[in-house]
Amino acid sequence: MKKIAIGQAGGPTSVINATLVGFVKQTMSKCSLSFIRNGYDGLVHGEFIEGNDTTLQWITQHEKVPGACLGSGRYPLSDEEIEKAVRILREKRIDALVFIGGNGTMEALYKVGVEANRQGYDLQVIGLPKTVDNDLGCTDHAPGFGSAAKYVAQTTRDMSRDLHAMQNFEQVRILETMGRNAGWLAAASGFLKTYEEEGPHFIALPERQMNHEKLLQSVETALYRYGFAIVVVSEGVLWNQGAQVERDVVGGRSVLGGISKEIELYLKQELNIMARSELLGMNQRSYSLAVSSVDQSEAYFVGVTGADWIKEGRSGLMVAIERTKGLAYSIHLKPVALGAVVRAGERVMPDQFIDNLKSYYEWLEPIIGDHVSPYPPLFQMRDVKSS
- For the annotated catalytic residues, the residue numbers are 133
Q: Report CA-CA distances (Å) from 333 to 163, 173, 314, 346.
A: 42, 40, 14, 20
Nearest-approach distance from CB 353 to a copy of itself, in angstroms: 26
Contacts of 316 (CB under 8 A, 6+ apart): 110, 113, 125, 337, 338, 339
What is the rounded CA–CA span in Å between residue 198 and residue 162? 11
Would you say 338 or 378 has its CB closer to a copy of itself? 378
Is 132 annotated in some ligand binding site?
yes
In whole angstroms, how far apart are CA 20 and each of 69, 212, 380? 9, 44, 48
**Region for 120 from its dihedrals, namely left if φ exceeds 0, alpha if ψ lies in -120 to 50, beta otherwise:** left
Separation in Å, CA 312 to CA 100, 139, 174, 307, 319: 19, 21, 50, 9, 14
DSSP string, 77-93: PPHHHHHHHHHHHHHTT
* Cβ at position 105, least distance to a copy of itself in Å: 13
The Cβ of residue 162 has, within 10 Å, a number of other Cβ atoms equal to 12
Minimum distance between the CB of residue 280 and a copy of itself, rounded to whole angstroms? Answer: 8
Q: Which is nearer to a copy of itself, 38 or 234 (CB)?
A: 38
CB closer to a copy of itself out of 223 and 336: 223
382 labeled part of a ligand binding site: no
Alpha carbons 336 and 341: distance in angstroms, whole number: 7
Supply the minimum distance, in Å, between the C-beta of residue 196 and a copy of itself: 17
Burial class (CB in 10 A: 0-12, 13-18, 19+), 152: buried
Q: Which is nearer to a copy of itself, 179 or 316 (CB)?
A: 179
- Is 225 known to sit in a ligand binding site? no
Residue 370 marked in a binding site: no
| Residue 178 annotated as binding site | yes
Q: By C-beta, is 38 or 139 nearer to a copy of itself?
A: 38
CA distance 326 to 372: 26
Is 144 annotated for ligand binding? no
Q: Could you tell me the smallest distance in angstroms from the CB atom of residue 300 to a copy of itself? A: 17
> Contact 97/123 with Cβ under 8 angstroms?
yes
Which residue ranges are tagged as binding site for Mg(2+)?
Answer: 103
Q: Which residues are annotated as a binding site for substrate?
A: 131-133, 178-180, 235
Known binding-site positions? 11, 103, 131-133, 178-180, 235
